[in-house]
Amino acid sequence: MTRVSLRSFAAIFGIMTIQAIAQPPRARDLAVPLEGTPGPLNAITDIAGIEVGQTTLIDGASVRTGVTAIWPRGKQSDDPAFGGWFSLNGNGEMTGTTWLEESGFLDGPVLITNTHSVGVVRDAYIAWQVQHQRKPGTNSFGGGFWSLPIVAETYDGFLNDTNGFHVKPAHVVQALDGATSGRVQEGNVGGGTGMICFGFKGGIGTSSRISGQYRVAALVQCNCGAKRQLRIAGVPVGQELDRPSVASTARPAEDRGSIIIVVATDAPLLPNQTKRLARRASLGLARMGSTSGNGSGDIFIAFSTANPNAAKPAGGMATLSMLPNDALGPIFDATVQATEEAIVNALVAAQDMTGVDGHTVTALPHDALRQVLKKYNRTASTR
CA-CA-CA-CA dihedral for 6, 9, 13, 18, to nearest 10: -20
Name the residue among 198, 183, 188 with its Cα closest to residue 340: 198
**Which amino acid type is present at position 297?**
G
Rounded Cα distance between 225 and 232, Å, is: 13
First CA to last CA distance, the chain: 35
CA-CA-CA-CA dihedral for 65, 70, 74, 75, to nearest 10: -40
**Which amino acid type is present at position 24?**
P
CA distances from 374 to 1, 13, 184 (A): 34, 50, 29
**Which amino acid type is present at position 22?**
A
Sequence-ordered list of residues with C-beta below 8 angstroms from that of 98, at least 6 positions apart, any chain: 148
Name the residue among 11, 20, 339 with its Cα closest to residue 178: 20
Sequence-ordered list of residues with C-beta below 8 angstroms from that of 352, at least 6 positions apart, any chain: 201, 360, 361, 362, 363
Question: What is the phi/psi pair of residue 301, to 5°?
Answer: -135, 145
Residue-wise DSSP of 281-305? HHHHHHHTT----TB-EEEEEEEE-
Sequence-ordered list of residues with C-beta below 8 angstroms from that of 215, at least 6 positions apart, any chain: 39, 46, 47, 208, 209, 265, 266, 267
Enzyme catalytic residues? 258, 296, 298
**Measured at the alpha carbon of residue 348, what is the angle toward residues 345 and 352, in degrees to the nearest 5?**
135
Name the residue among 316, 298, 293, 320 with its Cα closest to residue 308: 320
Name the residue among 50, 303, 80 with its Cα closest to residue 180: 50
Rounded Cα distance between 42 and 38, Å, is: 5
